Amino acid sequence: MSNLKTINLPDYGDFDEVEVIEICVESGQEVDSEEPILILETDKAAMEIPSSVNGIINKVILNVGDKVKVGMPFLEIEVQEHKEDDKTILDIKEEVSVEEKTFMDDPPSAVDDAANVMSKQESNVINLNNHKSKNIHSGPATRKLAREFGINLSLVAGSGPKGRILKEDLHQYVKNILSSPQEQTFKSTQPDIDFSEWGNTKEVDLTKFQKTSLDNLHSSWVNIPHVTQHEEINISKLMKIREKLCKKYKVKISPLAFVLKGLSVSLKEYEMMNSSLSKDLNTIIFKNFINIGVAVDTEYGLIVPNIKNIDSKTISNIANEVKELADLAKKRRLKNEHLQGASFTVSSLSGVGGKFFTPIINPPEVGILGLSKTFDSLKLDKLKLETVKMLPVSLSYDHRVINGVYAIQFINHLSEVLNDIKFLEDSFK
């Protein structure tokens, strides 16, 4: 027994219209519940839209390139009565913010700066175009225009009934900004050069995801006074105890898990590094939780899921969660709770190379730790040369909150933790 059922697009977030970039199935194909049917692209990320039932595809109603909205029919499927799934379509709302490559034995590749892709909820005032408030009243067209202008609706005075924000209010807001030189924001530009004069060229449009990343990276760099402190940490003891513990418990645990655990201790001790500035820049918000973001490179961009309450987890647990989040990211299975709530970010180029770099801070965080590729170095100990394993680290911090002395004290503390053999052993399992 089977019956033909039409499936509508679920609520995929605060987007008026998104584009279909890929069809994953074809007519006559048998699919299971939660198997991807199509892939949509927003200005934040690519996201899969799955089937909510088991059955055989009769027709995919949409085509690549179509602009779609919530509630539109996208699939006709012959549902097998004995397999029918009572679940509704998953609420897919993928938002990204990026940082780093996982520091694992077999890590997914990542590129440093792209890891600073910020979710718009955690962006600065200029980029809060997705801001929602119970006190903000505006129509879909007005909200769309606000996103295009990059306007935080909470800053706009509405002239409509009951304070409703109209398109005219947005135009007036922009005029006011432009008429006040002290409030103007810097807009990056590129020289207009015809490169074809020197040879063949081709142009490829940036994806919405790439455009958002570009804007957010630029905004972070322009609006936050970055200072970067470089240091080398001796992790010879860490690598030896890692080898011993992995052999003892017959597991494979990456050095990253040890670093993340040590970092959680230092963030608790140096709580300013785990803080954020308030929106009005008048107060510092201290967080009683430690959620560390770890970025993963996927075919559609860098995604930065975070490990919640990492200070309460063992090194083994951390290693498993890093792997699970990386797998979910590659399969486009991350949920909002995986992507929101980070208090600090780690950016790693350890699997690629290099010695030092300047990671860009991911607002509203005030610090980000960059990890480069480990290297062997000679150290003189009691008139005897020995080879040690060194980990280059690069700490970028918001100089409005963190000063240089505090930053180097933080790095020194992290070094001490990563050389505390008893702590590493006790934290492993």
Q: What would the pLDDT profile of 350-393 be if each residue is shown by its tens digit?
A: 777 788 999 999 999 999 999 999 999 988 877 788 899 999 99
- Residue 226 domain-assigned? yes
- Is residue 277 domain-shared with residue 351, that is, in the same domain? yes
Give, in degrees to the nearest 5, the angle at Cα 346 between 343 and 352.
165
Q: For this structure, is 413 an active site residue?
A: no
Both 117 and 46 in one domain: the answer is no
State the pTM of this model. Answer: 0.62
Assess whether 245 and 392 both reside in one domain: yes
**Catalytic pick from 218, 230, 399, 413?**
399
What is the CATH classification number for the domain harbouring 302? 3.30.559.10
Do 267 and 274 meet the contact criterion of CB atoms below 8 Å apart? Answer: yes
Domain count across the chain: 2
Give the domain CATH number at 46. 2.40.50.100
- What is the domain range of residue 68? 2-83
Q: Please compute Rg for the chain using Cα positions.
A: 24
Q: Are 353 and 111 in contact, with CB atoms under 8 Å apart?
A: no
Q: Is residue 367 part of a domain?
A: yes
Residue 169 lies in a domain: no
Q: How confident is the model at residue 116 (pLDDT cuts 50, 70, 90)?
A: very low
Model pLDDT for residues 305-347, shown as the tens digit of each residue: 999 999 999 999 999 999 999 899 888 888 888 989 999 999 8
Tell me, what's the pLDDT at 318?
96
Residue 131 lies inside a defined structural domain of this protein = no
Residue 112 has pLDDT above 60, yes or no: no
Do 79 and 117 fall into the same domain? Answer: no
Cβ neighbors of 59 (< 8 A, separation 6 or more) are 27, 75, 76
Element (H, E) at 58: strand 55-60
Q: Which residue has the higher pLDDT, 283 or 125?
A: 283
Long-range contacts of 275-279 (CB under 8 A, 24+ apart): 275/366, 275/401, 276/343, 276/364, 276/365, 276/366, 277/364, 277/366, 277/398, 277/400, 277/401, 279/125
* DSSP 3-state of 341: coil
Kindly write down the DSSP assignment for every residue of 357-410, as one continuous string. --PPP-TT-SEEEEE---EEEEEEETTEEEEEEEEEEEEEEETTT--HHHHHHH
Is it true that the peptide bond before 364 is cis, omega within 30 degrees of 0? yes
| Same domain, residue pair 28 and 117 | no
Cα–Cα distance list, 297 to 25, 112, 372, 373, 391 (Å)? 25, 10, 16, 17, 22
pLDDT tens for 196-248 read 889 999 998 887 777 777 888 888 888 899 999 999 999 999 999 999 999 99
Average pLDDT for the chain: 80
The reported pLDDT for the residue numbered 75 is 85
Q: How far apart are the first and last CA of the chain?
A: 51
Same domain, residue pair 285 and 351: yes
User: Who's near 165: CB < 8 A, 6+ residues apart?
Assistant: 136, 137, 138, 142, 153, 156, 157, 158
In a domain, 98, yes or no: no
